[in-house]
C-alpha cells in the first residue's frame, strides 16, 4: 500500500444520515463501531425512542454519537449526556454534535455510569454490545434505574441473542418490559421506572 493510500485511510470517514427526518452529518474513523454508516441496531432504536422536547437523556456507549445526536436534534429544548469509555469515541461524538450545530449535548468519558453526575434522567438509551458480558449488563440495568426519574424510560437495542436476557432482567429490575420492535438481527425494548410500560 502506498504512502498516499495510507494517508487517505487516516482521514476522517464522513457520511450523511437522515434520522427521524433530520439530515445529519457524521465524522468517524477506523476502530470505532460501524464507522461508515449508522448500524442497523442503532437505527432501529432511534426510530423507537419517544422523548419530549425538554427531556434530559443519557446515552451510554455513544461511539461517535448517532443515537445521542438524533435525540438532541429531536429534543432541542432538552439536554443529552453522551458517554463512552473510549477517548476517541468521545472526541468524535463531541465534534459531531458541533458539526450538526447541537448545543444541547455534553460528551464525556465514563465507563458505564462511573463518571455520570448525580442527575435524574427522563431517558437512558443504549445500543448494548453483547460482548461486555452479562455481569456489566446487570450493573448497567441497576445503575440506569437509580439514575432515572420516576416514570423515566430505559431504551435499549441488543442482538436478538440477548432478547430473553433483557426481558428477564428488565422484569426483575424494573418490574416491566416492552418489546418495541424486533428486526432480523436486533430487538429494541424499553422499561419504565416505577410504573407499567404504557
Position 19 in a domain:
no
| pLDDT top residue among 102 and 195 | 102
What does the buried/exposed string (b/e) look like for 66-94 if buried means 16 or more CB atoms within 10 Å of the residue's CB? bbbbbbbbbbeebbbbbbbebeebbbbbb
pLDDT tens per residue, range 8-48: 888 899 999 999 999 999 999 999 999 999 999 999 999 99
Three-state DSSP at 27 gives strand
DSSP string, 120-156: -EEEEEEE--GGG-HHHHHHHHHHHHHHEEEEEEEEE
pTM of the model: 0.93
Phi, psi of 179 (to 5 degrees): -80, 125
Query: 58 vs 22, 169, 198, CA distance in Å?
Result: 20, 20, 21
Asked if pLDDT for residue 197 goes beyond 70, the answer is no
Position 88 in a domain:
yes
Position 168 in a domain:
yes
Position 59 in a domain:
yes
Position 198 in a domain:
no
Position 29 in a domain:
no
Position 101 in a domain:
yes
Domain count, the chain: 1
Domain that holds residue 92: 38-192
Position 50 in a domain:
yes
CATH number, domain containing residue 180: 3.40.50.150
pLDDT tens per residue, range 145-195: 999 999 999 999 999 999 999 999 999 999 999 999 999 999 999 999 995
Amino acid at each position: 500500500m502506498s504512502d498516499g493510500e495510507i494517508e487517505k485511510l487516516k482521514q476522517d470517514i464522513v457520511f450523511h444520515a437522515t434520522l427521524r427526518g433530520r439530515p445529519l452529518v457524521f465524522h468517524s474513523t477506523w476502530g470505532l463501531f460501524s464507522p461508515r454508516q449508522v448500524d442497523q441496531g442503532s437505527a432501529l432504536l432511534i426510530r423507537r425512542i419517544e422523548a419530549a422536547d425538554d427531556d434530559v437523556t443519557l446515552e451510554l456507549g455513544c461511539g461517535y454519537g448517532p443515537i445521542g445526536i438524533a435525540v438532541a436534534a429531536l429534543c432541542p429544548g432538552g439536554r443529552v449526556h453522551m458517554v463512552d469509555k473510549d477517548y476517541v469515541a468521545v472526541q468524535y461524538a463531541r465534534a459531531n454534535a458541533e458539526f450538526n450545530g447541537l448545543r444541547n449535548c455534553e460528551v464525556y468519558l465514563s465507563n458505564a455510569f462511573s463518571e455520570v453526575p448525580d442527575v435524574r434522567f427522563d431517558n437512558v438509551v443504549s445500543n448494548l454490545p453483547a460482548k461486555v458480558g452479562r455481569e456489566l449488563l446487570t450493573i448497567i440495568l441497576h445503575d440506569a434505574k437509580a439514575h432515572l426519574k420516576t416514570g423515566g424510560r430505559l431504551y435499549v437495542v441488543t442482538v436478538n441473542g440477548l432478547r430473553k436476557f433483557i426481558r428477564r432482567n428488565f422484569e426483575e429490575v424494573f418490574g416491566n418490559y416492552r418489546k418495541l420492535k424486533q428486526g432480523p438481527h436486533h430487538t429494541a425494548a424499553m422499561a419504565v421506572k416505577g410504573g407499567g410500560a404504557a
